[in-house]
Structures are given as structure tokens and as C-alpha cells.
Amino acid sequence: MKKNIFWMILAYFIFVFIPSSLSAETIEKGTISIGGKSSTSYTIRNFEENENARTFNFLIQGGYFIANNFELGVGFSFIKIDAVSALDSYGIVPTAAYHFPLSQRVNLYAGLGLGWQKTNVNSGSEDAFSYGVNAGCEVFLNTNVAITIGASYWRFDWNFEGHTVDEDTEDRFIIPEIGIKVYF
């Protein structure tokens, strides 16, 4: 795990500090984006005896640039947690992100989102409110396709039997992400 993190950080700094071109490329107002991200991570939580549960997360998202480099979008997420049998969650997440162009091939981004999740566990289900922030790097393979590497921090407010996090019902996720994004 530590070795993978090292290679991800090394790749990030190579793409950021050794860009192929020194002129920055703005993402124009009116641009549409479609992308997907996937990750496997460990949650900061307490499910009975399993305090740090492994989580699989998949997000499909689309966006529209309302100004140069400023994107509003919506994402559809699916989360599967292995600490509890039959726990999965799906939801919708409106997002906002700002892209910081470093070169024609590399952008940094920072964003936030607020969302709703439907969580199914054992024989019941719960609604949850979620919110979070993310940041990362986009490396463009050509003018329309980019690989994204980043991380997110999310909090979920939910309540169901067998779930205990001190006395509240909030869980925190730190999620490393990798994905692909297409711009039109």
C-alpha cells in the first residue's frame, strides 16, 4: 500500500513539475465534460469489530463550464463496504470545481459537493446526507481526453442497526481516486 502511494505521488510531481509545454490551456466557458472515477479505500469508521472497513467507490459525472475553468456538475455514485454483509449505497451529488491550468497537458482541480445517498444494509435502508471536498490533477492525453488522479474527503450522515460511530451517525471517507474525463 505504501509503495503504491509513493508511485502515485511521484507520478503526480513528474506531470506537474515537468510539463510538456509551458503555456497554460484554459477550459472554455460552454465546454461539457463526462467522466468516471473509481477507487478502493479504507474508511475511518467503526462497524462492530471492524474499525477500518475497505470501501469500493464508483462515480459517473457530467459537468458544464459556466465560466472559463469553473465547472458545475452532477455525479451518480455507488459505494460498497465490505465490513457489513450486504451494505451498498448509491446517490446523486451536485458538484462545483475550479480547474487551474498549469500547461497544455496538465490541470490541477479543486472542488466540493453536497449529495444524497440511499444506503441498503441487511434488510433495511436509510437516506443519508453527504458532503465533501476533492482535489487532484488532470493529465490530458489529447485535447479532449484526460486521466484524473486525485483524492476526496467525504462525510455521510446516516443511521442503521449495527452502525456505531461514537454517539453520532457520521462516517468519514478518505478516497484516493483515478479516472478518465472527456471534454466536448
CATH code, domain carrying 68: 2.40.160.20
- The pLDDT, as a whole number, for residue 164 is 47
Instruction: Kindly report the pTM of this predicted structure.
Output: 0.73
- For residues 169 and 25, the answer to whether their CB atoms sit within 8 Å is no
| Chain segment 123-177, per-residue pLDDT in tens | 667 777 888 899 999 999 988 899 999 988 887 776 555 544 444 556 677 778 8
Burial 142-162, CB ≥16 within 10 A → b, else e: eeeebebbbebebebebebee
CA-nearest of 118, 64, 128 to 96 is: 64
What is the number of structural domains in the chain? 1
Where is mean pLDDT largest: 21-35, 59-73, 153-167, 169-183? 59-73
- The pLDDT, as a whole number, for residue 106 is 92
Domain span at 157: 2-183
Per DSSP, which regions of 23-169 are E strands?
32-44, 54-67, 70-81, 87-101, 106-121, 124-140, 145-157
User: 10 falls in which pLDDT band (50, 70, 90)?
Assistant: low
